[in-house]
Amino acid sequence: MSDCAIAQDTFQNLTFTMSGYNFTIPSSAYVVNATQENEWAELFQDDKCVFMIMPHYFESDQYMVGLGQGFLWQYFAEFDFDTTSMHFGVNYYAE
């Protein structure tokens, strides 16, 4: 069993609450094995376990978390520029 598979089995699902709705992503969506056989091979050399949730720090000491691709594998986003709103839906094709 690879290190990433062990991490995926060890880590729990993460749930984020936004506007009163819970969005849950499994560990397999936020811990990814970057191997030569997948799209992450171009970004990372060798076999690496990649954590797909990134912290962002700003000069004003503000802190944000970028949910990124791991989140968007589980949910899709719709951006409504007319009403400046964003909507999420479940990706039923996610693993």
Q: What's the mean pLDDT in 84-90?
A: 90
Q: What is the pTM of this model?
A: 0.66
DSSP string across 1-56:
--HHHHHHHHSPPEEEEETTEEEEE-HHHHEEEE-TTSGGGGTS-SSEEEE--EEE
Q: At residue 85, does pLDDT exceed 80?
A: yes
pLDDT of residue 20: 92
